[in-house]
Structure 1
Amino acid sequence: MRSLFFLLLVTTGFASSGLHAQEALPTITDALSADSTTTTLYAALDAADLSTALAEDREVILLAPTDDAFASIPSETMAKLLDPQNVSSLRTILTYHLLEGGEQGASDTATRASDGGATLGEVIECSNGVVYLIDRVLLPPGFDLSELVD
């Protein structure tokens, strides 16, 4: 009788060795806040009021510039970019790093990155999309950082 009960537990998945809680994936926002290489991006998303949008359930792909990528932008330019007067420019740059999820977005990911001179790095799977760490801040075609408001 005991062996039958044990067999029943194992086959139905109730044996303690078969019970492993599946870890829940973080949202994109949670993943960025936890990653030590994306602190500048996280702050920029917050300044542009975009961090809450990345916590939603829609599937997106984020090409996420690392802190080193942002460090390649002169500090005066970064200060201007983070100035509330330039929030629309900041949003334009950050939303250029976002692609819709799904097959089309996945196929556009490498193209967008390579067209901007970036290399795809670590991939972070999230509950609402995928984050690809990149080594460069991408600028939309025709965007000029020198035109930021002082």
Structure 2
Amino acid sequence: MRRNSTILGLVAALAIGLVALPVLAATTDVDIRGGAYIPASLTVEGNTTVTWTNYDEVSHTVTSTGGLFDSGPIEQNETFNHTFNDTGTYPYGCTLNASTQRTPMQGVVIVVPEGMVVAPDENVTPGEESNMTLAALIAGDENLTSFADAVEDAGLTQTVLAAGGPYTVFAPDNAAFEVLGNETLAELSNDTETLDALLMYHVVRGNYTAEDLATEANVTGNETVLETLAGDSLNVTAVDGDLTIENATIVTSNLTADNGVIHIIDTVLVPPGFVLPPENVTPVENVTPAENATVVENATTAVLPEERVIP
């Protein structure tokens, strides 16, 4: 009896111990080597702790763009960690080398709901791989030179498209960017945080071919909703064989990269609440009366259309 009582006591103690154990968060690591975060783009599930380790002789920081976390200086072989509970896109960088390096250190952690992490090669049909990243495919397409320039200027978006995935990119063609005007584009290129926010609105997580989009839309009554890396939603509509993304139409579909797929669209998408900087227009009163008609006509084409500014 004493032996049985001892065994029962041990079982009870073990059970209590197991119940008392905390639920452990998933963990993953980012190395800081050669003035870069490796990997620069990281997709994790919620409740994941990310640990950064600095292997460089010089100090670095891990500083959130949105102020969520800031490691302060991390010396060689020191670490910093942060647990990501909420889904979203969290860009970060090093504040110590921003003025000394031509390209500042940048990284991003993309947090998705638990159980939704997808293998990098999901939905890529064998034989269709391009051996190119999304960033490289965009840079090499002659119809996307303006979009490629914007991606390069933004920096963070380029890091995401080069190192993360799989993603589906709705890339505006050159004509779509021409509508914005040179001065608007110049202002955006000088404001990389705003430009990144605009470009991330054109990227969704996962591989969606045109056929996938049409199927998703038809299942839900000709329309479906995708969540962008900017955290906003995109409405996708299938009507009479045409696919529209918000107010843009897909003109070229299914350009496949190693880490996703690109669809070329005919309009730059503008997130809700996002106001593009307007073109500078010469006031009518500053010109002679004889030229007023010409100036007014030019001003009409220079100012962004109202539907492109979403309050």
TM-score scaled to structure 2, two decimals? 0.36
Tell me if the contact between 2:207 and 2:261 (Cα under 8 Å) persists in the aligned partners: no
In structure 1, give the amino acid aligned to 2:248.
Answer: A
- Taking the aligned partners of 1:141 and 1:110, their CA distance within structure 2 comes to 12
Residue equivalent to 1:31 = 137
Moved over 4 A (4+): none
Does 1:91 find its partner at 2:196? yes
Number of paired residues?
A: 124
1:47 equivalent in structure 2? 153
What CA deviation, in whole Å up to 9, does each residue of 1:59-88 have, x standing for no partner? 0000001111100102111111111xx211
- Preserved contact between residue 251 and residue 266 of structure 2 (Cα < 8 Å): yes
Q: Encode CA deviations 1:23-77: one digit per residue, 9 max, x unaligned.
A: 7512111111111011111111111102132112520000001111100102111
Q: Does structure 1 residue 111 correspond to structure 2 residue 217?
A: no
SS of alignment partner, residue 51 of structure 1: helix
The one-letter amino acid of 1:88's match is E
Alignment counterpart, residue 101 of structure 1, candidates 206, 229, 251: 206
Cα distance in 2 for partners of 1:76, 1:53 equals 26
Structure 2 equivalent of residue 3 of structure 1: none
User: What CA distance in whole angstroms lies between the structure 1 residues aligned with 2:276 and 2:164?
Assistant: 32
Q: Which has the higher strand share?
A: 2
Equivalent residues of 1:116, 1:139 under 8 A apart:
no
Letter of the structure 2 residue corresponding to residue 114 of structure 1 = T
Structure 1 counterpart of 2:252, which letter? E
> Could you say which structure has the larger radius of gyration?
2
Other-structure match for 2:168:
61
CA distance, structure 2, for counterparts of residue 52 and residue 35 of structure 1: 18
Q: Is the 8 A contact 1:110 1:120 kept in 2?
A: no
Structure with the bigger percentage of helix:
1
Q: Deviations over 1:115-148 (max 9, x none)?
A: 531001212011100100000100101101138x
Q: Give the AA of the match of 1:82.
A: S
Structure scoring higher RCO (CA < 8 A, sep ≥ 6) equals 1
Structure 2 unaligned runs (5+)?
Answer: 1-126, 217-225, 227-233, 238-242, 279-311
Moved more, 91-100 or 72-81: 72-81
Q: Per the alignment, do residues 96 and 48 of structure 1 end up closer, same or farther by CA in structure 2, a change over 3 Å counting?
A: same
Distance 2:149 2:263 in 1: 18
Tell me the residue number matched to 1:16: none
Find the aligned partners of 2:147 and 2:187 in 1 and give their Cα distance: 15
Is residue 71 of structure 1 aligned with residue 201 of structure 2? no
C-alpha separation between the residues in 2 aligned to 1:126 and 1:53? 14
| Corresponding residue number in structure 1 for 2:251 | 121
TM-score under structure 1 length normalisation? 0.72
Give the aligned partner of residue 264 of structure 2: 133
- The alignment yields a C-alpha RMSD, in angstroms, of 2.6
Corresponding residue number in structure 1 for 2:273 = 142
For 2:264, what is the secondary structure of its paired residue? strand
Change in Cα spacing, 1:71 to 1:94, as seen in structure 2 (3 Å) is same
Contact kept in structure 2, 1:58 and 1:128, CA below 8 Å: yes
